Chain A
Amino acid sequence: MKKILAVSILLLIGLTVLAGYFFPQALGPILNLVIDWGILLIGTAALIGIGYLIKTHISRIARRDKQSFLSLVLLLAFAVTIIIGLIFSFNHPIFTDLMINVQYPVETSLLAVLAVVLLTASFRLISTRGWTPMSIAFLCSSVITVGLDAGSIYLGTEGAGAEILNFLRRLPMVGARGILLGMGLGGLIVALRVLLTIEKPYGE
């Protein structure tokens, strides 16, 4: 009974949304309602996820784990953000200052760390995988793209040189198109498997 109910809900919602693509005028209001309810559920699921994060860190402190003071830092940061957000509004300078002065330096610095990590990872890729057609293409393409972006590779604005430059700029699009089509086909297959109840991500 429980399984039948879950499958019925999945099919009802899935087929309604799919039908909405073909009959947008007739099914528009129902589609909006179904999506609004979905947004509510996804929002609640995200809150439950954050609840789990908080619960895990509270239990780490309770167990007096090694470096549990880091959990305390996380909980304090969480509490301070919630309190400031509740007392002031989203647009209040104190709240925006808090967000900008934490988010911007941390995210930019993480991106900066990524520059060094990417460089070492690319060297490691060549040393562990060796010289395969893919790794050669990868290395040549990244060197040429950096050269093109920096303006180091310049073959003129007209004639054969410009055409070669255009060709070099367009070449990555060929593989990207294939990758996008592959991702689209893969996504379509997984979604159809869920809709045909071959895959059951909601549990048995």
Chain B
Amino acid sequence: MTFSYEIMWIVFSFLLTLMVLSYLLGDNIFFRFASHLFIGVMAGYVVLLISNQILWPYLVKPIVNWTLPGVLWLLIPLILIFMLVLSQFKRFTWIGSLPLAYMAGLAAAIAVGGAVFGTLLPQSRAIVDSFDPAMWYAVPNQTWLRILNAVLMLVGTVATLSYFHFGRKRKSTIEEEMEKRPAILEGLSKVGQVFIGISLGAVFAGVFSSSLLALIDRILFIGQFITNLFRSF
């Protein structure tokens, strides 16, 4: 019983692998079949996950356990959830702006905290730390190398940042010409392009190596399956 159950899953995995890999020959019905099956299973999994990990502990459990303060505190999210569900009907679309405003406010505030404390401060600190003289003299005969490294880090970061535009989109060509950036910034952004290219190239190489490993894993799996199939006859 267990044997046939295991075989069933191996055959199922083999067929799914072939269907997805068939995309290499072009978009076809087998690939679409596998992707639709995958989306269906994952959608079901997400529904179960949300029900088990979010709705049950945060909403249903406090109601089942019934304590007046606990249920009263739940009134606000219950009203917001009701509004969100109701807004899916055409007549009540307007009502959805209130729960959406709640989510937007929460997400924006979390994004501010994440950007400042998670990215801007630690990354800026790392650049500043590389100019610490104690670090320069830590290893003898490498002082100039470390100074060069720190300067390169600073110049590269500034050049990469100058490649980004943080302004709004210009409406007219006259406005665009009026708001042209200084020549030094334009020059720095050209240097920044090289640094961005180097970073993206390294990321690309990492992703390519991982995907190549996945390709080898799948080819080995197919080979093993076919070998076992022939052995069993």
Contacts and interface: CB of A to CB of B under 8 A. Distances in A.
Contacts of B127: 177
11 contacts: A14-B109, A73-B37, A74-B37, A101-B12, A105-B221, A118-B207, A133-B194, A138-B197, A138-B198, A145-B205, A178-B160
A106 B43 contact: no
Contacts of A40: 54-55, 58-59, 77, 81
A41 B77 contact: yes
A43 B103 CA distance: 11
A187 B156 CA distance: 21
A103 B38 CA distance: 7
Interface residues of A, number: 117
B20 A109 contact: yes
Overall SS of chain B's interface:
helix
Interface in A94-120: 97-99, 101-106, 108-116, 118-119
Given A73-B36, A77-B37, A135-B197, 7 more contacts: A41-B102, A74-B43, A101-B12, A106-B34, A133-B193, A177-B153, A190-B111
Interface in A4-33: 5-7, 9-18, 21, 33
A94 B208 CA distance: 34
A156 interface: no
Nearest to A192: B112
Contact of A10 (B105, B115, B160, B166): B105
B72 interface: no
A39 B113 contact: no
Nearest to B116: A188
A141 B96 contact: no
B199 A176 contact: yes
Contacts, number: 382
B92 interface: no
Interface in A67-110: 67, 70-71, 73-82, 85-86, 90, 97-99, 101-106, 108-110
A53 B212 CA distance: 32
B13 interface: yes
Contact of A195 (B73, B76, B108, B219): B108
Nearest to A102: B41
A56 B227 CA distance: 42
A153 interface: no
B112 A18 contact: yes
Interface of A: 2, 5-7, 9-18, 21, 33-48, 50-51, 53-54, 67, 70-71, 73-82, 85-86, 90, 97-99, 101-106, 108-116, 118-119, 122, 132-143, 145-146, 149, 163, 167, 170-192, 194-195, 201-203
A185 B166 contact: yes
Contact of B40 (A5, A39, A76, A189): A76
B185 interface: no
Nearest to A98: B41
B38 A113 contact: no
Contact of A133 (B104, B112, B197): B197
A182 B32 contact: no
Contacts of A15: 109
B143 interface: no
B77 A2 contact: no
Contacts of B77: 36-37, 40-41
Contact of B43 (A2, A50, A173): A50
B226 interface: no
A114 B102 CA distance: 38
Given A9-B105, A53-B43, A203-B96, A180 B194 contact: no
Nearest to B121: A184
Given A112-B21, A189-B166, A99 B198 contact: no
